[in-house]
Amino acid sequence: MNSYKYTFVTLLLFSISANVSSASALPQNISELVEASAPAVVNITSKKEIKMRNNLRGFEEFERFFGIPRGYQQQPQQPQTRDAVSYGSGFIFKEGYLLTNFHVVDEADEIIVSLNDRREFSAEVVGIDPLSDLAVLKIKGKNLPTVAIGDSSKLKVGDWVVAIGSPFSFDFSVTAGIVSAKGRSIQNQNIGNYVPFIQTDAAINPGNSGGPLFDLNGKVVGINSQIYSRSGGYQGLAFAIPIDVAMEVADQIIEEGGVSRGYLGVRVGEVDNDMAEALSMDKPYGALINDVEKGESGDEAGLQPGDVIIEFHGKEIKFGTDLPHVVGRIKPQAKANAKVIRDGKTITLKFILGELPVDQRAFIPAKNEISSDPLGLKIEDLSNENAKPSDPENGVLVLRVNNGSPAYGKITTGDILIGIRSKGKPYEFKDAASFESLIESFSSGDKLLIEGRRNATRFFVAVTVQ
C-alpha cells in the first residue's frame, strides 16, 4: 500500500514538473511584441478593373426557338467591367517604403494601405520581383512607424515565430508557431527556384500574404507568402520568404530599379544512394550536374555533366535545390569558388558568374495585356520583341495563368498557343484580340482542345470554359 502511494505521488510530481517545464517553454512576451510591432504592419487592398464576360448564345437560341422578330432582338452589348478587390498584408521597413508579396498587388489599378491607427494612404509600386514574389511600395505620410529587421540566417528549426496580418480581411490578427523547416524549395506560377522558404506552423490564411513573420525579439525574419492546402485554408504548413533574401531584393529595387541574380548555366539534380555509391561518395548529398550550357559561367569554369557540387561560395550544398538558392543571391560578374566531386576526388573550380536571364515577357504591365477570363489566361501577340528563334510564326504568348483557373496546371507562362478545337471542329486565331474574341464565343462548360508549343515541343491540353 505504501509502495502504491509512493508511486502515485511520484507520477503526480513528475506530471506537475512536466507541465511547469512545458509552460516555461512557451513564449511570454508575445503581447508585448505585438503591441510594439503592430503599428508598422499594414492591411493592403488592391483594386483592379476586369472585363465581365457577355455570353449571349443562350439568349439567341431562346429568341430563335420562340420566333422573336429580329427587330425586337437585343442590340449588341458593349463589354462591361467591374472592380475586383483583393486583400493582403505588408509592413513598413523604412521611410515610407513597404514590402509585400507581388501576387498581392499584381495588376492592381489602385492600392490602398491601411495602418493600425486607422490612417489610409494610396500607395505607388516602386518595383516588383515575381521570381521572389516580392513588391516594394511607397506611401507618403508623417510619423510612419517601421519594423525592426532581423537576421533569418540565425533562425533555428524549433524557434518560436509570430505572424501578424489580415487573414480573410480580419485586420491585424496574430498567430504564433514554430519554425518547422528551413531552405524549402517551392516552384509556383511565377516563383522560381531562388527562394529558400522558411516553413512554419503559424496559422496563415488568405489575406496574410505579404505580412511579417517575427522572432521573439520583435524583429522581422520572414514574409508570409504561401500555404500548402487542399481546402484553401490553413492545414499546418505555411511558407515565408527569409527577410535576408527580401531585403536584398528590396535594396536592389530601390537603388537600381530591378533585380539581377547570378547564373551558372547548369541543370541540376539530386544525388541518391545508388548515385553516391557509383560516384564513390560517402553519402548522397550535393547538386548533381546534369547538363552545362555552352558559353555560360559553368562551362567557362570547366564544370562537366556528372560533377557534384558540394560547396559553393563558402556555403554547403546538401541538395540540388540548394544551389540556385546560393547562386541567385550572388551578384552577376562576381567571383566564386566551388568544391566539386569528380571521379571520386574533390577538386576546386573558380567561377565568374553570369546573369540569370530574365524572360521579360512575363513582366509586361497589366495595361498591355489582354485578359481571357473564361480560361484564366493573360496573353499578348507574338512580336519581334518577345519571340524566340524557336517560337512558331503564328500564335499568342501566355504571360500568366491565374491560380485555380481552367488552364491552371495545364498551360504555363511562356507557352505559345497556336490552335483550338471544339467538338471536332478547328478554330483559327491570328492574334491576341482574335483569340480573346474566339474564347468569348464559347459557352460555359464547353470543352476545348488547345494546341501549343513549349520549349519547341508541341503539346495538347483539354480545358473547360468557365
Q: DSSP code of 442? A: S
- Containing structural domain, residue 290: 262-355
What are the pLDDT digits (tens) for 311-343?
999 999 999 989 999 999 999 999 999 999 998
Q: Which of 132, 209, 297, 372 is catalytic?
A: 209
Question: Which one of 37, 89, 103, 244 is the catalytic residue?
Answer: 103
CATH code of the domain in which 382 resides:
2.30.42.10
How high is the pLDDT of residue 18? 41
Cβ distance 265 to 248 under 8 Å? no
**pLDDT exceeds cutoff 60 at 139:** yes
End residue of a domain, out of 253, 274, 290: 253
Same domain? 172 vs 90: no
Residues 288 and 205 in one domain: no
In a domain, 35, yes or no: no
Residue 103 a catalytic site member: yes
Q: Which of 463, 461, 450 is nearest to 395 (CA)?
A: 450
**368-397 pLDDT per residue, tens:** 334 446 888 888 888 766 666 656 777 898
Same domain, 159 and 191: yes
Q: Is the same domain home to 333 and 428?
A: no
User: Domain ends where: 306, 340, 355?
Assistant: 355
Summarised one tens digit per residue, pLDDT across range 20-33 is 344 445 667 889 99
Up-side HSE of residue 357: CA atoms within 13 Å toward CB?
A: 8
Q: Is the pLDDT of residue 275 over 90?
A: no
Identify the active-site residue in 106, 133, 215, 244: 133
pLDDT band at residue 13, thresholds of 50, 70 and 90? very low
- Residues 212-238 pLDDT 10s: 999 999 999 999 998 876 666 677 789
- The verdict on residue 390 lying in a domain is yes
Summarize pLDDT for 409-452 with one digit per residue, the tens. 788 878 889 889 888 788 988 888 889 889 988 988 888 888 88
In a domain, 448, yes or no: yes
Count of helices and strands (H, E) across the chain: 9, 29
User: Does residue 108 sit in the same domain as residue 56?
Assistant: yes
Q: Per the structure, how many domains does the chain have?
A: 5
**Is 244 part of the annotated catalytic residue set?**
no
Concerning whether 209 is annotated as a catalytic residue, the answer is yes
H/E stretch holding 12: helix 2-25
